[in-house]
Structure 1
């Protein structure tokens, strides 16, 4: 048996690797609380989905409701991506071509889409800071209040400059919704429900895109200014509903424990549990959260952004950032069949929007297919398989871009875009939301998720700028041949995943803490067995965590 603990330098004795823990670093938790933590860890590891739904029904409901705020970001993102294929928008904000048609130039497309990302990075960094101080609910409520007047700026924008300013500003509050609601879902849910409640974020993202594409499809033949103003105004409709949700939701009990608000954590756990849940079980759950918090305090007392780059947290931050970045780096701007790309491939505006709607509907179905797969297969395995299929679909898109555009090649390209959509929404899309909450310590989860989302935004900027120039008729005009470039990018993602991504399926937070501290190689995580909770004495003496290769 190989043995590892949480500690600082390794020492080797025969076949046993030990990390000594300084005697001055004592776990500040009573023996009774540690015993309760052990009981809860065993319960969580062996709980079935059915039992979890019965035991924590309110956690599921509040997680789903809080995640619905993701619709705000995905709707806005879908709007701007599809506006470039809307004739009325092209005429208002684009340039007239020699053929008499209007086209939004590649630089303008880039500015309109990327300034929002710049605003989001600012908003994300602020959200991570505020979340640690005022909690998830109030941080997102503040962001929601800021959005109301900014939508008015979008609605009234008289020219491209004003619209660019509005898109920059709206990115700041939008940065909080998807990231913090995803982290909230991971913290209120038991381990067996976490894959479903965190990947539900992908459902909300897809639904938001579907709604925006559907609304624009309804205005594709409308040549007036209302064709693009009404879609902006729709964003006001769901703000009151999201506000009520934010006001009524319980705060994350993990956040309450980090802040030392144990009574508030108990109240949150009561609201997240069944009304028949025994107080003793809830106290055990609270004890495990306390135990996790105390263990992680021994490694790092700070919850600053800098702490995410120190010690073993650096590896965890790298993985979270890289996993999230795989979404754009596999070429989703091209493969997700944007209406503008399909128009350049040879489809008319109406048909391009129809294909986009079909892709969104297919994506929604695929996420539900992903759920049973998450139960039976590891995250690492699914991601590797998904990247292989995505790479093949990008090669197919590239091959169809070689001949001159025609109706046949355009529809075939749409077919390969669907081939991209299926594995992307079964693997890469939902797994990213799950893995970025698996990787960090519980104390650094909000900050690490913010950094991962920022990395995603940075790589998305790279993806969108390149794609805009690759497919734009007034720029490089690569059309479908762009698929070859993104197939190569996807291959690099595949190599990184194989060597760097650990398997986290069915792992408790303390188990992952132990394995990262022990520096277990990524490919050995799945075959390593860990004691989730150690004895209290192991922090006062030089005992170790037990870690064995299965």
Structure 2
């Protein structure tokens, strides 16, 4: 699973030749900073006296500020519900307006929601702000990932998504660090100062977008082929060889024309037909790895749980856990271009499952003790390291599987279902970790351990699914991936498959008169392959 991949990518397979596109992708992935920032900030708010004095209550028995479990659930989960709603809207919005306008819209909604959270002391207004903030986050994440999937060179998509995850981890570190700096404040500024950071990343990205082109693949789906060619030229360095540029553009243009012809207007229906049904299911499954491995409760409730468990300086330890995630994604830079994505997923989910099991066993053996608390902290760090090391490539593969015409609809639906799963994790976690909830003080150890045993089981299922059903896509162009799915290639044979139809598209010089001839060659090749591989899984 480490050898070279057979690929029809016509571009130079280095980094230096694609500096310009890499810079554009890095600035686009600033959108993920916002998601990491929210997860870290809000988790810390629930242990801040300055926040609890406004939205919580004073516990006379324990002589400390606390928060009602229902309020805790709604503050955390309404943002996730918003991401669900926002992600579902990505397909229709993108089909009409494109990827760039989706990111601009996300910035506008973010500004409104942040302003409400800064100014209100009313729970209802806070709930509403959290909901629409979730819509903006869903748009940020989905439009960002669809865009970079479509513009990055095939051999560098892994690096781009590692950058995406590092931005998310940096956002989490910034959020945890700012929370640590303000958590002792007793005024409203304790949470308002961190909230003001929500304006930073969207502002930077909104300005940068004025200088970036629209996705050439999206423009091709709209029939705006000359604009698509101009867009692709802006994405590639000026010194690119003309034959390389024309080969890549021909590949995108011919394949996208074929995809548009197959998928007319009812895209919500077409994504469940023929070979697209397999691609849709795979995209949803792989993206939902993020909610199925137990990351939601660890990301949201780490600070709160450490404090309830009696571990001193919970805010500092929470920041340390977040730093472990950043180390994990930096570590992934070393192997993402050399190791197959299936292997990355297999090792990642196995390590996350074992970490959840270790957490459960330690807390079951000695609940609410200092030794168990330190062991659980160690397993949380291990989980975070491996989760963040593999997570970006699950997002990446989920965006690679759909065809160009259906990508926004499929990826938006998959992201929405992932956030729905996250919502379930976030909404139910307080019943396991909040002493004021149904768990009760004396059952906290048993309930906490039960939660992690459940997550261990779900990670085991993810491991088996990856081994049997997830195709390998490392270094493949999106058009090659389309050809393999159309030919019904079994998952275990993706790596060695030679995409002759895609290679045939490169031989034109980009002249208009040659495109139809190449399309005929491609169609004939696809028909022959489909017939020879009929019945393959």
Q: TM-score range by the shorter chain?
A: 0.7 to 0.9
Structure 2 match to 1:525? 494
| TM-score relative to the length of structure 2 | 0.88
| 2:127 paired with 1:164 | yes
Q: For each residue in 1:440-472, what CA deviation from the matched residue of structure 2 results, as whole angstroms up to 9, or x when unmatched?
A: 112211111111110110110111122221111
Separation of aligned partners in 2, 1:95 and 1:384: 45
SS at match of 2:163: helix
- Corresponding residue to 2:90 among 127, 132, 144: 127
Structure 1 match to 2:51? 89
- Corresponding residue to 2:338 among 367, 371, 376: 376
Tell me if structure 2 keeps the 8 A contact 1:401–1:481: no
| 2:210 paired with 1:247 | yes
Residue pairs, 1:329-478, within 5 angstroms: 329-336=292-299, 338-348=302-312, 351-402=313-364, 403-427=366-390, 429-475=391-437, 476=439, 477=444, 478=447
Separation of aligned partners in 1, 2:350 and 2:326: 21
Structure 1 match to 2:511? none
Tell me if structure 2 keeps the 8 A contact 1:335–1:420: no
Unaligned segments of structure 1, at least 5 residues = 1-39
Tell me if structure 1 keeps the 8 A contact 2:55–2:121: no
Separation of aligned partners in 1, 2:137 and 2:522: 44
Separation of aligned partners in 1, 2:261 and 2:51: 56
- Corresponding residue to 1:177 among 131, 140, 143: 140
| TM-score relative to the length of structure 1 | 0.86
Q: For each residue in 1:247-290, what CA deviation from the matched residue of structure 2 results, as whole angstroms up to 9, or x when unmatched?
A: 22111111121112222222212221212224443222211111
SS at match of 1:504: coil
Residue pairs, 1:142-153, within 5 angstroms: 142-153=105-116
Q: For each residue in 1:458-507, what CA deviation from the matched residue of structure 2 results, as whole angstroms up to 9, or x when unmatched?
A: 11011112222111111223234522121112122222222221111222
Structure 2 match to 1:507? 476
Question: 1:191: Cα distance to partner?
Answer: 0.7
Question: 1:387: Cα distance to partner?
Answer: 1.3
Structure 2 match to 1:48? 13
> What is the root-mean-square deviation in Å for CA atoms of aligned residues?
2.3
Query: Which sits farther off after the overlay, 265-274 or 449-458?
Result: 265-274
Separation of aligned partners in 1, 2:454 and 2:527: 52
Separation of aligned partners in 2, 1:238 and 1:371: 23
SS at match of 1:374: coil
Tell me if structure 2 keeps the 8 A contact 1:212–1:231: yes
Separation of aligned partners in 2, 1:508 and 1:542: 16
Q: 1:228 to 1:431 in 2, by over 3 A?
A: same
Tell me if structure 2 keeps the 8 A contact 1:471–1:480: no
Query: Which sits farther off after the overlay, 474-483 or 393-402?
Result: 474-483
| 2:496 paired with 1:488 | no
Q: For each residue in 1:36-88, what CA deviation from the matched residue of structure 2 results, as whole angstroms up to 9, or x when unmatched?
A: xxxx94524xx422xxx333221111111111122223322322222212232
| 2:190 paired with 1:234 | no
- Counting matched residue pairs gives 502
